[in-house]
Amino acid sequence: MTLVLRSIEHGFGAQKVLDRVTFAVAPGEVHALLGMNGAGKSTLLHLAAGVYIPQGGAVEIDRRPVAFRSPKEAAAAGIVFLTQEVDRGLVPSLTVHENLTVGLLKDERRIGFSRRNNRLRAREMLRRFGLDWNVNRPVASLSIYEKQMLSIVRAVAGQAKYLLLDEPTASFDRKEAERFGQLIEELKRQGIGIVFVSHRMNEIFALSDRISVLRGGKLVLERKTGQTTLEEVVAAMTGGEASIRRRPYKEFEGPEQFAVRGLPLDPDAPGIGLGLKPGEIVVGFGLLGSGKTRLARALFGASKPYRALIRGNERLIRGTRGAARQGLAFVPEERGKQGIWKRYDIRTHLALSFRGWIFKSREIAYARELIGAFAISPAIPSYKAGALSGGNQQKVAIAKWFARKPVLAIFDEPMKGIDVAAKETIFRMIESLADQGASILYLTAEPDDALRIADRIFVLSRRRIVAWMSSDKATAEMLLSVAERGEQPSGGN
């Protein structure tokens, strides 16, 4: 029973996302699906899982075309898509055994219910995969790793024949990743086909049987894992870099405007040391799980108090309010939850940093100035931030810091979910902030974004800095290779 997506074509509006892509996974096979951000991986998974209906081509099971109109129909055919959002599909208020068996009881149309038998059944399901858990624990108390494993076991118990796994190990530590690998081997022995999306190349080469690479919506490489190399895969993912627009290279002189030494991110890793000069844009590049977001939150005072040198003076950063008072700004990855207030209008956001007497006319005039400067659309100060597109929400999340004139502005994956048209405007906003004298720390897992905006680049791996590079000498292949291997290349800067 082979699952095939044959000659798939799909797009959104005028933008073509997939162009005649054929992708197959056989029973008991792990087929890795790789590609940069925007390559089409997520869209392909959504098509296989019935979230979208392909505009061209067909989904086939054993050479028979199937037409799923919903994820429920795909699941009934044995195809289950497990996203990075591990809480999706689980009920936090219910126990492990209730989450595992409630779907089975419904499918079996059982009327009677025995809590004791339910617990026994759940324990047996878990033990098949080497998991000896307390099945009475509420799911809300589980770690991300445990929730991910629970979701997989539940899918298999529900007769899943194919699992589509999107970055399942992104938040796992080394031991959790090893146990996950053991689970994958057991799933293969049971004849379950797995589509595995991950940025962690060591796991891809350890767990997969085949590797396919998408770039720009096209299939550019398909190999048996043993017949390719990391260098070949990375080259296929990144393609030519000539089209990447880069920030003109410049060396910054003079004293550091912001510096921190020994900032702890992990008890088992050395503390982070950073120093940024006025107007300098430093990029922290790291794959999922490298510690990027942890670093951003720690610097903005969301973890433990720490000491930093700010314009030559030692300051204690205690809490996020204290960080803002010391001249730090933060644009988080989850802008919809942490970067904006959806119920408030654009004007309110852009006037947040004003001090002294606030007049409505002054707020409106300032809002209009920034709206025009950064092409925020619609250009209406009273427009609710929650009703804006993702790109315009991000513009507001950045623009609200301009009046404060920050010493250090921290950006955590600011291009997440941003269309191509909006990206360049946002890059220019960040450069404009740097031109005003702010030091910029830009954190990303996207090599093209790193190369576009950086003056200097450091690579994070396992919550430690493993390499520094100047932007004029760095390449996408170099960034990915260093991040994956966790060490500075020979001859690197």
Same domain, 481 and 395: yes
Q: Helix 476-485 vs helix 230-238: angle between axes, to the nearest 10 degrees?
A: 140
CA distance 273 to 114: 57
Residues 6+ apart with CB under 8 A from 158: 75, 80, 103, 104, 107
Supply the pLDDT for residue 492. Answer: 45
With a cut of 90, say whether residue 23 has pLDDT above it: yes
Over range 448-462, report the average pLDDT. 91
The per-residue pLDDT for range 223-252, each reduced to its tens digit, is 999 999 888 888 888 775 544 567 888 888
Over range 118-123, report the average pLDDT. 87
Q: How confident is the model at residue 28 (pLDDT cuts 50, 70, 90)?
A: very high
CA distance 468 to 140: 40
With a cut of 50, say whether residue 129 has pLDDT above it: yes
Same domain, 359 and 227: no
Task: Indicate whether 248 belongs to any domain.
Answer: no
Same domain, 62 and 203: yes
Over range 422-440, report the average pLDDT. 87
In angstroms and rounded to an integer, the radius of gyration of the C-alpha atoms of the chain is 24
Cα–Cα nearest to 471, from 197, 283, 212: 283
Same domain, 376 and 282: yes
The CATH number of the domain where 173 resides is what? 3.40.50.300
pTM over 0.85: no
The Cβ of residue 368 has, within 10 Å, a number of other Cβ atoms equal to 17
With a cut of 60, say whether residue 493 has pLDDT above it: no
Same domain, 224 and 262: no
Same domain, 13 and 119: yes
Task: Indicate whether 290 belongs to any domain.
Answer: yes
The per-residue pLDDT for range 466-487, each reduced to its tens digit, is 999 988 888 888 898 888 777 6
% residues pLDDT > 70 (the chain): 88
Same domain, 300 and 197: no
CA distance 38 to 152: 26
With a cut of 90, say whether residue 362 has pLDDT above it: no
Residues 6+ apart with CB under 8 A from 293: 332, 333, 412, 413, 443
Task: Indicate whether 385 belongs to any domain.
Answer: yes
Supply the pLDDT for residue 267. Answer: 78
**Total number of residues shown for the chain:** 493
With a cut of 90, say whether residue 437 has pLDDT above it: yes
% residues pLDDT > 90 (the chain): 40
The per-residue pLDDT for range 263-272, each reduced to its tens digit, is 988 777 788 9
Phi, psi angles (nearest 5°) of residue 283: -100, 130
Supply the pLDDT for residue 491. Answer: 47
Same domain, 139 and 263: no
Q: What mean pLDDT value characterizes the chain?
A: 84
Select from 175, 206, 238 the last residue of a domain.
Answer: 238
For tokens 């699992």, what's the residue? 163
The per-residue pLDDT for range 270-321, each reduced to its tens digit, is 889 999 999 999 999 998 778 898 999 999 998 889 999 999 999 999 999 8
Supply the pLDDT for residue 376. Answer: 78
Domain that holds residue 136: 3-238
The terminus-to-terminus CA distance of the chain in angstroms comes to 50
Residues 6+ apart with CB under 8 A from 73: 50
Number of separate domains in the chain: 2
